Amino acid sequence: MGLVATTVPMNIVPQFGSLRTSIRVGNSSGLTFPLSLSQRRNKSFLCFAVDDDLKQKQPDLSIAATGLRSALEERPAEETQENFEQDGERSAIYDFLYPNKELLPDDKEMTIYDHLEELRQRIFISVLAVGGSILGCFAFSKELIMILEAPVKTQGVRFLQLAPGEFFFTTLKVSGYCGILVGSPIILYEIIAFILPGLTKSERRFLGPIVLGSSVLFYAGIVFSYLVLTPAALNFFVTYAEGAVESLWSIDQYFEFVLVLMFSTGISFQVPVIQFLLGQLGLVSGDQMLSIWRYVVVGAVVAAAVVTPSTDPLTQVLLAAPLLGLYLGGAWMVKLTGR
Co-location of 179 and 51 in the same domain: no
For residues 310 and 254, membership in a common domain is answered with no
Predicted confidence band at 42 (pLDDT cuts at 50, 70, 90)?
very low
According to the model, what pLDDT value does residue 134 have?
A: 94
pLDDT for residue 29: 46
* Lowest-confidence region among 136-150, 204-218, 255-269: 204-218
Comparing 79-88, 165-174, 240-249, 304-313, which segment has the lowest mean pLDDT? 79-88
pLDDT confidence bin for 49, thresholds 50/70/90: very low
238 and 156 in contact (C-beta within 8 Å)?
yes
Ramachandran angles phi, psi of 100, nearest 5°: 60, 40
pLDDT interval class at 59 (50, 70, 90): low
Statement to judge: residues 184 and 231 lie in one domain? yes
pLDDT at 275: 87
Q: Of all residues in the chain, what percent carry a pLDDT higher than 90?
A: 13
Distance (Å, rounded) from C-alpha 140 to C-alpha 83? 56
Q: 187-223 in b/e burial notation, b at 16+ Cβ within 10 A?
A: beebeeeeeeeebeeebeeeeeeeeebbeebbeebbe
Instruction: Identify the pLDDT of residue 107.
Output: 56
Look at 68 and 197; give whichever has higher pLDDT: 197
82-103: pLDDT as tens digits = 444 444 444 555 454 445 544 4
Task: State the pLDDT confidence band at 138, using cuts at 50, 70 and 90.
Answer: very high
My answer on whether 21 and 92 are in the same domain is yes
In terms of residue numbers, what domain contains 67?
Answer: 5-97
**pLDDT score, position 60:** 52
Q: Please tell me the predicted confidence (pLDDT) of residue 33.
A: 44
Boundary of a domain, candidates 97, 122, 138: 97
Same domain, residue pair 256 and 274: no
Please check whether residues 127 and 255 belong to one and the same domain.
Answer: yes
pLDDT at 30: 45
25 within a domain of the structure (yes/no): yes
Q: What is the mean pLDDT of residues 16-34?
A: 45
Q: Which residue has the higher pLDDT, 200 or 228?
A: 228
Contact 126, 190 (CB under 8 A): yes
Continuous segment of H or E residues that includes residue 13: none
Residue 19 lies in a domain: yes
Residue 214 resides in a domain: yes
| Residue 108 belongs to some domain of the structure | no
The answer to whether the CB of 174 falls within 8 A of the CB of 134 is no
Taking a C-beta distance cutoff of 8 angstroms, is the pair 71, 78 a contact? Answer: no
Q: CB neighbours of 75 closer than 8 A, spacing ≥ 6?
A: 9, 12
Q: What is the pLDDT of residue 95?
A: 52
Q: What is the pLDDT of residue 91?
A: 53
Instruction: Verify that 141 and 250 share a domain, yes or no.
Output: yes
Q: For position 305, what pLDDT does the model report?
A: 80
Residue 102 lies in a domain: no
Residues 223 and 325 in one domain: no
Average pLDDT taken over every residue of the chain:
73
Chain-centre distance for alpha carbon 147: 33
In a domain, 57, yes or no: yes
Q: Is the pLDDT of residue 325 over 70?
A: yes
pLDDT exceeding 70 applies to what percent of the chain?
Answer: 66
Closest to 90 (Cα-Cα) out of 22, 43, 35, 48 = 43
Number of domains the chain is built from: 3
Helix (H, G, I), strand (E, B) or coil at 263: helix
Which of 270, 272, 119 is closest to 198 using CA atoms? 119
- Cα separations in angstroms, 197 against 106, 109, 112, 127, 250: 8, 10, 14, 22, 49
Higher pLDDT, 167 or 5: 167
* CA separation for the pair 147, 255 (Å, rounded): 11
Please give the pLDDT value at position 127. 93
The pLDDT assigned to 69 comes to: 47
Q: Is the same domain home to 222 and 170?
A: yes
CA dihedral 191, 193, 194, 196 (to 10 degrees): 110
Whether residues 185 and 289 fall in one domain: no
Q: Both 250 and 292 in a single domain?
A: no
**Residues near 312 by Cβ (< 8 Å), separated by ≥ 6?**
233, 236, 237, 240
Determine, yes or no, domain membership for 107. no
Gyration radius of the chain over CA positions: 30
Q: Read off the pTM.
A: 0.60
pLDDT classification of 223: cutoffs 50, 70, 90: very high
Bridge-partner residues for 5, per DSSP? 48
pLDDT band per the 50, 70, 90 thresholds, residue 28: very low
Rounded mean pLDDT, 3-23: 45
Query: Is 103 contained in some domain?
Result: no
Residues 192 and 278 in one domain: no
